[in-house]
């Protein structure tokens, strides 16, 4: 094949960006409408890479359609045909790890919530103090010692914590 002239480079052989060939059965795509003379429009290898990582993490089947021929496969199988394939494998593994950690966090959160529901309402800290000659167990309210005598609440500043 003869070498292309500079003019040919800029005017010929435009085709749809490779990342637009990929879609899931439920219609998710990279949203690409670009055309390019290369395999990918600028930056679209990254676009496809993140798309395949996302679908790989979801375990979604990805259909690549080239010249009207659809080839369904998992995201990793598609990714292996590209230079960035290993990055997709790493990304999916990382996403799996992230998803697992997220699930663990949510689980811990739910457990903490359940625990909070069953826990008793917060009680004021009990304080034992001597008032005069008697010793009472009550609570502090600011500087006051609050205690009960025969069901009646009393408060005093004259007390001695024991």
Interacting residues with Zn ion (CB under 5 A) = 17, 19, 32, 34, 41, 44
Residue number with CB closer to Zn ion (32 or 146): 32
Quote the longest CA-to-CA distance of the chain. Answer: 112
Comparison of 40 and 136: residue with beta carbon closer to Zn ion? 40
Question: Whose Cβ is closer to Zn ion: residue 32's or residue 75's?
Answer: 32
Residue 117 neighbours by CB distance under 10 Å: 7
Question: What tokens were used for 75?
Answer: 């995201």
Nearest distance from C-beta of residue 73 to Zn ion, angstroms: 19
**Given CA atoms 49, 30, 24, 98 in this order, what sign does their dihedral have?**
positive
Q: How far is the CB of 19 from Zn ion (least distance, A)?
A: 3
CB of 22 to Zn ion, least distance (A): 9
Q: Which of 91, 78, 74, 77 is nearest to 19 (CA)?
A: 78
Q: Are 52 and 62 in contact (CB under 8 A)?
A: yes
The CA distance from 124 to 138, in Å, is 9
- Whichever of 91 and 138 has its CB closer to Zn ion, that residue is 91
Supply the minimum distance, in Å, between the C-beta of residue 49 and Zn ion.
11
């Amino acid at each position: 094949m003869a070498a292309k002239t500079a003019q040919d480079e800029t005017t010929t052989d435009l085709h749809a960006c490779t990342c637009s060939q990929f879609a899931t059965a439920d219609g998710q795509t990279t949203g690409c409408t670009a055309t390019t003379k290369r395999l990918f429009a600028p930056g679209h290898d990254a676009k496809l890479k993140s798309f395949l990582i996302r679908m790989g993490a979801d375990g979604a089947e990805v259909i690549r359609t080239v010249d009207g021929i659809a080839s369904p496969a998992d995201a990793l199988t598609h990714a292996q045909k590209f230079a960035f394939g290993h990055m997709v494998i790493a990304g999916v593994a990382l996403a799996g790890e992230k998803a697992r950690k997220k699930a663990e966090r949510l689980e811990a959160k739910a457990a903490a919530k359940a625990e909070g529901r069953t826990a008793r309402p917060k009680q004021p800290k009990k304080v034992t103090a001597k008032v005069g000659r008697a010793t009472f167990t009550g609570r502090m309210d600011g500087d006051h010692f609050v205690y009960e005598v025969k069901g009646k609440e009393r408060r005093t500043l004259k007390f001695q914590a024991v």
